[in-house]
A = this chain, B = another copy of it.
C-alpha cells in the first residue's frame, strides 16, 4: 500500500490526557483517534492490526472446534431480567428504549442471548458439546474510561460459549481453550501469564483463569512465585503457611508498627454477623472470606450493625469477648501477642494473645497476598506484579442454563441441564496491551504476526529518481510475492520519513539511499541496531523469506 493513501499525518505530541506510552504511540502514529471518552475510531493502519489479531484468534478457535457466529448488540431487557443481571449490572449496562418504549440493553456480554438460543435449538444430549464464538463490538459504560483502548466504552471483543452434558466434557474443552489462548497470546508477541482467578460477578462454579499481560500501567495485580511458577490474581492468590515470627520488641510502647495490631473488620454475611481478623498492615480478601463462609453476599457492616454487635462505634472493634464468629487470618494466629480494639470507645487492649484471649477455631487464609509471602505450592517467595487482563475463561456451570431452563433429553429419557463455559478476549484491549509492551522511545515495534504491514520501504530522497524507481520496483516485487508492504511515496524530508517509520513500528524496513547507485539497499529490523547492505534482488529474496508466515 502507498503511504499517501493509507496513513493519516502523525503527531509530534500526544494530548496530555494520554497517560500511557502505548496509548500515546497509538495516537501519535495515527492508528486510532478518540471520538468521545472511551470511544475510538480505528484508522487504516490501526484497523489492519485489529484485523490481524482477529485472524489469529479465528484460526486458533476454529482449530479448537468452536464455530463463529454473530449475535446482536441490541438485547431485549427481558433476557437480562431472566438472568437477574438487569439490576446487578448497574450503570455499566447501557440501556435504551425503542420507539415503542420497549427496553433494550446494549450487550456488554452475551451469556443471556446464547443461552436463550441454545434453549430454542438444542434438545438432545446428542447435540452436545457445542461451542460458538463471535468477534463483536461490546458496550460498557465505564465510570472512568482510561488508557485509550485499555478500558473503553465501545470495544471489540471475542466471546465464546460452550455447552456440555457434564463437567468431564466441560473440563476437557476448557483445557483446549486454555491452550488455544496460550497460542493466541504467544502468536501476538505478548509476555503474559495465565493465572488462577475468581469467577466473580459473572457467577461461576468450578474454575476460572485470567491471562495477564505484565505491565506497570495495568489495573490488575497478580502474585507470582519465582520458584515453581505458581501464578494467581490477587483476589485468588493463596498465602503459604506463615512462620512464627517469634517475640517482638515491646520496649518502645509509643510507636508500635502497624504489624503489631490486630484489625477486626465486621461484615454482614448473608444477613449474619462475622468478624475477620488480619494484621494491621494487611488487607482482608473478601473473596476468600466469602468462600470460607459459603455465603452469597458479603458486605462491610454498617455503623448501626457494628454498634449492635460490639456495643460501641466502628474503629474500636476487637476480638476479645466478641460473641460473633471470628475468622482469624493465619498470620494473626501466629502472633505471640498484639494490640486490638476493646469494643469500648478510645480503648485499645495491649498484650492480646491469640488462642488465649480469643478462639482460633476458624483460622485460615483471609487476606491479600503481599510481596515476600510464602508460595502456597512450594514455599518459595511470592512477588506481586501489575498487569493488564486480556483474556478470561470461566466454567460457569448451570447458572445461565438453569435460569433459562435450557434442558436437553438424555439417552435414558431423563432431563439434563447442560453446564456451560465462557471465554473472552478483549481484541482492542489486546492491541493496546501489545502497544504497551512493544515499543521503544521512538515508537511502536509490532510483533510479526499482527503488524499492519511486514515491510516498510523508504526511499531517502524523494527528488532522487533512481531511489524512487528502485523503491517502486521493490514494492512491486515484494507485493507480487504476497508480502504486505507499505511504500513511503510521500514527498517529505528523510527525517520526517524515518520518524514516522519509527512510530509505525513495521518489523522490516528497506531503506533506499545513496547505495542505490551501486545497486544496494539497506535492510533493517525495527527495534534492533542491525542493518545489512544488500543488492536489490537479494534484499527481495531475504525479506520475502523472513516474512513467510511462521509454521504453526
Give the contact-size bracket for chain A. 35 or more
Contact B104 A36 (CB under 8 A): yes
Contact A35 B99 (CB under 8 A): no
Contact B68 A35 (CB under 8 A): no
> Which B residues are CB-close (under 8 A) to A95?
96
Contact A42 B70 (CB under 8 A): yes
Contact A74 B39 (CB under 8 A): yes
Contact A50 B70 (CB under 8 A): yes
- For residue A381, CB closer than 8 A to chain B, the reply is no
> Which B residues are CB-close (under 8 A) to A67?
5-6, 44
Q: How far is the CB of A108 from chain B (nearest CB, A)?
A: 13
- For residue A94, CB closer than 8 A to chain B, the reply is yes
**Using a CB-CB cutoff of 8 Å, which residues 91-116 of chain A contact chain B?**
91, 94-96, 98-99, 102, 104, 106, 113
Contact B68 A44 (CB under 8 A): yes
> Which B residues are CB-close (under 8 A) to A39?
72, 74
> Which B residues are CB-close (under 8 A) to A75?
35-36
> Which B residues are CB-close (under 8 A) to A46?
69
Contact of A47 among B30, B70, B98, B106 (CB under 8 A): B70
Contact A42 B65 (CB under 8 A): no
> Which B residues are CB-close (under 8 A) to A41?
69-72, 113, 117
Contact of A153 among B50, B98, B106 (CB under 8 A): B98
Q: How far is the CB of A98 from chain B (nearest CB, A)?
A: 5
> Which B residues are CB-close (under 8 A) to A137?
73, 137
- For residue A12, CB closer than 8 A to chain B, the reply is no
Contact of A96 among B91, B94, B132 (CB under 8 A): B94
Contact A36 B69 (CB under 8 A): no
> Which B residues are CB-close (under 8 A) to A69?
41-44, 46-47
Give the docked Cα–Cα distance between A95 and B65 (Å): 39
Contact B76 A47 (CB under 8 A): no
> Which B residues are CB-close (under 8 A) to A102?
36
Give the docked Cα–Cα distance between A75 and B39 (Å): 8
Give the docked Cα–Cα distance between A106 and B139 (Å): 11
Contact A36 B143 (CB under 8 A): no
> Which B residues are CB-close (under 8 A) to A550?
none
Give the docked Cα–Cα distance between A356 and B41 (Å): 64
- For residue A17, CB closer than 8 A to chain B, the reply is no
19 A-B pairs besides A5-B65, A48-B68 with CB distance below 8 A are: A4-B127, A35-B72, A35-B74, A36-B76, A36-B102, A41-B70, A41-B113, A42-B70, A42-B71, A44-B69, A51-B68, A73-B154, A91-B99, A94-B96, A94-B98, A95-B96, A96-B96, A99-B143, A137-B137
